[in-house]
């Protein structure tokens, strides 16, 4: 058994020589990095835990060779794919194997963000200073003056300078181990092998993210022989990309995760589901506003509590056995501006949850009243806060207009914030859609973790009711 397949069946179906030869050009550095990686996997005894992510680039077919779990990623996204694997199975040893175009160009955002996250992953970065697969174009790591297919006169200043990834990654707080190595002679190859093994070990032991940059040879696109390319890496590349350990922290193993929980109680509890309680005895549908579907619009300024009141109504209606919906206005318009809510309560099913022609409007300020009052259905009810809106004009005829000083009443109770509950009480007294007990029960249910607030809210509701009844009596 070896970490390399006995036959490369994915390479042209393993036919002929391809069953035992790589697709790499003669002298390509990738083969040596593969060898080091295979040795490290073998040496650590992790073949049955390893997932290798192959990139787009010359190493796109790494899965031809490694007898481990394999996934092939889109260009530049190998670290994201690796992270997905790591979180799916934290016991897996996941390796993101990438070239310079993949890691340092198109995938830079993934490279940096996932390095910074610092979860135990191993990134092997094969830097050969040129695009291989697409045919020798400028890489982010190409040297100044280097001639490539897309820098025919040599890399100039306007193309930017070569990107030093190992240094960049090392200065992030996430990684625990970063080293740059090379393959150009026996000594460097020994160091490379050790670095790759160490980078895997950091992951195996749950210590953190490790990054090894390997200066590798691409004889084909440098248009040099393999030995000449080794020399080029040594004399041209190394001065720009200094070898050595860039970061090596002593970190205790920390990454451990239990198996995900599928316990019904835990899931339901966290979702906020309550055990089946008693149904309220059904009350007959109040047909005075509509035969089977009442639309209510609540509108005010951002902090008026229109949405909270709307949700309370919706909950109360559902507890009552009706269907009900609530749609808030949202987004920038609700930040400080008008905030309005459409509520429907239906005996059967709410067909249309929008309320373009509400039966009831509860308006907390002048703009809301001006905007929505004309939309209220014939025979509908308009309640508004007469503390805030003085002598409104242009209210439509044929609707019941109920001015109640919500804010004043709430202020008299010591908490202007409860004006929305005052309003609900008033609305209850006037339109009587749901039994008062139903709304109060819901209020108590919602405030069950804040019992201190209950008396205030009860008084606010009652005060709203009384104010509306008093108005009714004098009218």
Partner 1 sequence: MSNATSARPKPFLQPEYCKGCLRCIEACPRDCITPGDEINPLTGLRPVALHLDNCNGCSLCIQACPEPYGLRRQAARPCVGDDFELEDPAKLFGERQVANHSAGDVPDTFVPLPACDPMILKGTYAAAIGALLAGCRHVFGYPITPSTEGAELMAKILPKLNGSFVQAVSEVAAVNMMYGAGGAGVPCLTFTSSPGFSLMLEGISYMIGAEVPGVFINIMRGGPGLGNIGPEQADIKLACRGLGHGNTHALVLAPSTPQEMLELTREAFELSFLYRNPVVILGDGYLGQMTGIVKLPATLRRPGLPAWAVWGDRAHRHNLICSIALEETDLEQRNRHLNIKYAEISAHEQRSDLYRCEDAEMLVVACNTPARMAKGAVEAARAHGVKAGLFRPITLWPFPIDALLPVLPTVRQLIVVEASPGQLEDEMRLALSHAGIAPPPIDHVRRFGGLLPQQSEILAKILNYQEVLS
Please give the structure tokens belonging to residue 44: 């650590």
Q: How many residues bind ligand SF4 (CB under 6 A)?
A: 11
Nearer to partner 1, 191 or 415 (CB): 191
Provide φ and ψ at 362, rounded to 5°: -115, 110
Asked if 175 is part of the footprint of partner 1 (rule: CB under 8 A), the reply reads no
The least distance separating ligand SF4 from the CB of residue 328, rounded to whole angstroms, comes to: 56
Residues 14, 25, 251, 308: which binds ligand SF4 (CB under 6 A)?
Answer: 25
Residue 23 or 415: the one with the smaller Cβ distance to partner 1 is: 23
- 21 contact, one of partner 1, ligand SF4, none, CB 5-8 Å limit per kind: partner 1
Does position 82 interact with partner 1 (CB under 8 A)? The reply is: yes
Task: Return the residue matching tokens 């905007």.
Answer: 371
Q: Measured from the CB atom, is 53 or 178 closer to partner 1?
A: 53
137 binds, among ligand SF4, partner 1, none (CB under 5 to 8 A by kind): none
Distance CA 296, CA 353 (A): 10
| 267 contributes a contact to partner 1 by CB under 8 A | yes
Question: 366 with 388: CB under 8 angstroms?
Answer: yes
Q: Specify whether the CB–CB gap between 10 and 70 falls below 8 A.
A: no
Q: Which runs of consecutive H residues, i.e. helices, occur in 144-263? A: 165-170, 186-204, 219-222, 226-232, 238-240
94 binds, among ligand SF4, partner 1, none (CB under 5 to 8 A by kind): partner 1
Is residue 235 at the binding interface for partner 1, with CB under 8 A as the rule?
no
Task: By CB under 6 A, tell whether 425 contacts ligand SF4.
Answer: no
Q: Is 238 in the site for partner 1 (CB under 8 A)?
A: no
- Which one of the spans 167-175, 222-230, 390-398, 405-413 is the region binding partner 1 (CB under 8 A)? 222-230
Rg of the chain over Cα atoms, rounded to whole angstroms, equals 35
DSSP 341: E
Question: Measuring CA to CA, how many Å separate 333 from each of 206, 329, 338?
Answer: 47, 7, 6
Nearest Cα neighbor of 440 from 293, 287, 313 is 313
Nearest CA among 356, 403, 409, 368 for reference residue 382 = 403
Which C-beta is closer to partner 1: that of 118 or that of 162? 118
Structure tokens at 289: 């506003």
In the complex with partner 1, the residue whose CB is nearer, 396 or 416, is 396
Residue 30 structure tokens:
């990738």
CA dist 68 and 35 (Å) reads 14
Mask for 307-336, x = binds partner 1 (CB under 8 A): ----x--xx--x----xxxxxx-xxx----
Q: In the range 90-109, which residues lie near partner 1 by CB under 8 A?
A: 90-94, 109
Is 46 a binding residue for partner 1 by CB under 8 A? The answer is yes
Which residues are CB-neighbours of 173 under 8 A, at least 6 positions away?
Answer: 116, 118
CB-nearer residue toward ligand SF4: 96 or 220: 220
Nearer to ligand SF4, 221 or 399 (CB): 221
Residue 128 touches which of partner 1, ligand SF4, none (Cβ within 5-8 Å per kind): ligand SF4
* CA torsion, ordered 66, 70, 73, 78, to nearest 10 deg: -80
Rule CB under 6 A: is residue 55 a binding residue for ligand SF4?
A: no
The enclosing H or E element of 455 equals helix 454-474
Regarding 30 and contact with partner 1 (CB under 8 A), the answer is yes
Q: How far is the CB of 168 from partner 1 (least distance, A)?
A: 15
| Interaction of residue 86 with ligand SF4, rule CB under 6 A | no
Residue 256 engages partner 1 in binding (rule: CB under 8 A): yes
Least distance to ligand SF4, CB of residue 143, Å = 16
Burial profile 267-306: b = 16 or more Cβ within 10 angstroms, e = fewer: eeeeeeeeeeeeeeeeeebeeebbeebbbbbbbbbeebbb
392 binds partner 1 (CB under 8 A): no
CA dist., res. 320 & res. 244, Å (int): 72
Question: Any contact of residue 24 with ligand SF4 (CB under 6 A)?
Answer: yes
Q: How far is the CB of 71 from ligand SF4 (least distance, A)?
A: 21
Yes or no: say if 307 and 339 are a contact pair by the CB < 8 Å rule. yes
Measured from the CB of residue 111, what is the shortest distance to ligand SF4 in angstroms? 19
Tally of residues, the chain:
475
Find the shortest distance in angstroms from Cβ 146 to ligand SF4: 14
Alpha-carbon span 368 to 379, nearest angstrom = 19
Distance between CA atoms of residues 229 and 377, nearest Å: 83
Site for ligand SF4 in 186-225 (CB under 6 A): 218-221
Whichever of 324 and 369 has its CB closer to partner 1, that residue is: 324
- Residue 218, contacted partner among partner 1, ligand SF4, none, CB below 5-8 A by kind: ligand SF4
Residues 120-149 that bind ligand SF4 (CB under 6 A): 128, 132
Positive or negative: CA dihedral 425, 430, 433, 437: positive
- Residue 49, interface with partner 1 (CB under 8 A)? yes
Residues of this chain that interact with ligand SF4 (CB under 6 A) are: 24-25, 28, 30, 58, 128, 132, 218-221
């Amino acid at each position: 058994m070896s970490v390399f397949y006995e036959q490369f069946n994915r390479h042209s179906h393993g036919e002929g020589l391809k069953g035992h030869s790589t697709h790499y050009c003669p002298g390509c550095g990738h083969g040596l990095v593969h060898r080091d990686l295979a040795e490290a996997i073998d040496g650590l005894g992790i073949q049955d835990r390893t997932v290798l992510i192959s990139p787009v680039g010359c190493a796109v077919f790494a899965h031809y060779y490694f007898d481990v779990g394999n996934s092939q990623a889109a260009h530049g996204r190998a670290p994201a794919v690796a992270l997905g694997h790591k979180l799916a199975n934290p016991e897996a040893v996941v390796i993101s194997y990438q070239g310079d175009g993949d890691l340092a160009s198109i995938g830079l955002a993934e490279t940096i963000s996932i390095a910074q996250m610092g979860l135990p992953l191993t990134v092997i970065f094969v830097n050969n200073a040129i695009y291989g697969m697409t045919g020798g174009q400028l890489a982010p790591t190409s040297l100044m003056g280097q001639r490539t297919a897309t820098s025919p006169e040599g890399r100039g200043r306007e193309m930017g300078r070569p990107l030093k990834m190992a240094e960049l990654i090392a200065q992030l707080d996430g990684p625990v181990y970063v080293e740059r190595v090379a393959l150009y002679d026996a000594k460097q190859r020994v160091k490379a092998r050790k670095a790759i093994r160490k980078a895997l070990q950091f992951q195996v032991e749950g210590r953190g993210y490790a990054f090894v940059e390997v200066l590798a040879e691409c004889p084909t696109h440098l248009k040099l022989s393999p030995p000449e390319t080794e020399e080029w890496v040594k004399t041209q590349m190394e001065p720009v990309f200094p070898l050595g350990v860039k970061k090596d922290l002593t970190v205790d193993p920390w990454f451990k995760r239990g198996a995900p929980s599928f316990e019904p109680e835990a899931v339901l509890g966290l979702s906020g589901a309550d055990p089946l309680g008693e149904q309220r005895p059904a009350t007959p549908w109040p047909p005075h506003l509509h035969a089977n579907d009442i639309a209510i619009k609540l509108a005010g300024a951002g902090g008026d509590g229109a949405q909270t009141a709307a949700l309370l109504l919706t909950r109360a209606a559902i507890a009552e056995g009706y269907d009900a919906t609530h749609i808030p206005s949202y987004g920038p318009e609700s930040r400080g501006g008008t905030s309005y809510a459409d509520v429907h309560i239906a005996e059967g099913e709410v067909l249309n949850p929008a309320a373009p022609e509400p039966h009831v409007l509860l308006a907390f300020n002048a703009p809301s009243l001006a905007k929505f009052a004309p939309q209220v259905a014939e025979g509908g009810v308009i309640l508004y806060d007469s503390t805030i809106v003085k002598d409104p004009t242009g209210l439509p005829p044929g609707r019941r207009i109920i001015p109640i000083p919500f804010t004043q009443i709430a202020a008299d109770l010591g908490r202007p914030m409860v004006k929305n509950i005052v309003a609900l009480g008033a609305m209850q007294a006037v339109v009587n859609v749901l039994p008062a007990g139903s709304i109060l029960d819901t209020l108590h249910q919602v405030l069950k973790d804040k019992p201190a607030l209950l008396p205030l809210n009860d008084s606010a509701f009652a005060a709203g009711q009384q104010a509306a009844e008093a108005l009714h009596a004098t009218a």
